[in-house]
Amino acid sequence: MLLLAGVPAVVLLAARGVRRARRWADRPRHRLGTTLRLLTLAAPIALLVTLHRIAGFLYRGRDISWWQTTYLYPTLVALLAVTAAAGLLVLAARLRQLHTRRGRTS
């Protein structure tokens, strides 16, 4: 239950990230740095998709389905799902702003 206390913070930080996407895109950066920063936003999505494999590793290699993981760790899965959705929203907002910025400068 303690992990669910982090959900409002994740939602607020995602809203802040979406609001600041234009300012983030306007700063000059190297292409590699921008790519790496955007890939970190996709990390919770990858973790959510592979969570059952990580839990299986923690249970000494036992085969655990993704649905069993939701029964074992419901609050972790909920927090991870909200974090993945928030990261996806911020990623989409930043990519949109980068695309419109590139259209203005070309």
| pLDDT tens digit at each of 106 positions of the chain | 677 888 999 999 999 999 999 998 888 888 888 899 899 999 999 999 999 898 888 888 888 888 888 888 898 899 999 999 999 999 999 999 988 877 665 5
Task: From 19, 22, 13, 14, select the one nearest 95 (Cα to Cα).
Answer: 22
pTM: 0.83
- CB–CB of 90/18 below 8 Å? yes
- pLDDT computed for residue 41 by the predictor: 93
